[in-house]
């Protein structure tokens, strides 16, 4: 793991088809990742969420249901991690009736890495409970 990359992985008792909408649907994103979301899940489409007081803004780079999604990530009016300056990629891999979720967050400034690792671990744990079948 390099200093500008954060990774996280979980296993969910649900299929990739059941989990994938939680990565793109604004209502479902608010159940595990954000307190507000506005998305247009298509390449070049809007990815906008509020996580507490933080306004995360970016665009979807890749949508490949039900196995992969990638979007840019950054904070509105922030010079350390500006809008769209990093990339989050999530892979969903079927394992029987379960799904392995592998997340990689690239291009994070060194000072942002620990905070984002903690945040992703916490959010993915919440996704595990939320998306369970």
Share of the chain above pLDDT 70, in %: 97
Q: What phi and psi values does residue 41 have, to the nearest 5 degrees?
A: -75, 80
Q: What's the pLDDT band for 133 if we cut at 50, 70, 90?
A: low
Question: Residue 2 pLDDT more than 60?
Answer: no
CA separation, residue 131 to residues 11, 41, 73, 98 (Å): 11, 19, 23, 11
Q: Match domain 6-130 to its CATH number in 3.30.530.20, 3.90.550.10, 3.20.20.70, 3.90.78.10.
A: 3.30.530.20
Question: Residue 18 pLDDT more than 70?
Answer: yes
Question: How far apart, in whole angstroms, are the C-alpha atoms of residue 7 and residue 120?
Answer: 8
What is the average pLDDT across 104-127?
95
pLDDT on residue 113: 93
68: how many CB neighbours lie within 10 A of its CB?
Answer: 17
Residue 86 and residue 105 in contact, taking contact as beta carbons nearer than 8 Å? yes
pLDDT on residue 4: 76
Question: Residue 125 pLDDT more than 90?
Answer: yes
Residue 72 bridge partners (DSSP): 87
75: how many CB neighbours lie within 10 A of its CB?
Answer: 19
Q: What's the pLDDT band for 74 if we cut at 50, 70, 90?
A: very high
Question: Residue 67 pLDDT more than 50?
Answer: yes
As to burial, measured by CB atoms within 10 angstroms (0-12 exposed, 13-18 middle, 19+ buried), residue 94 is middle
Question: How far apart, in whole angstroms, are the C-alpha atoms of residue 40 and residue 42?
Answer: 6
Q: What's the pLDDT band for 1 if we cut at 50, 70, 90?
A: very low
């Amino acid at each position: 793991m390099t200093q500008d990359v954060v990774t996280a992985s979980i296993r969910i008792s649900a299929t990739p088809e059941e989990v994938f909408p939680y990565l793109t649907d604004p209502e479902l994103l608010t159940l595990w990742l954000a307190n507000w979301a506005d998305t247009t899940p298509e390449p070049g489409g809007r990815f906008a969420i509020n996580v507490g007081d933080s306004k995360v803004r970016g665009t979807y780079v890749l949508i490949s249901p039900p196995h992969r999604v990638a979007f840019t990530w950054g904070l509105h009016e922030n010079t350390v991690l500006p809008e769209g300056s990093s990339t989050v990629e999530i892979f969903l891999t079927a394992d029987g009736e379960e799904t392995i979720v592998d997340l990689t967050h690239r291009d994070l400034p060194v000072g942002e890495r620990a905070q984002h690792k903690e945040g992703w671990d916490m959010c993915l744990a919440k996704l595990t409970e939320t998306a369970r079948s």
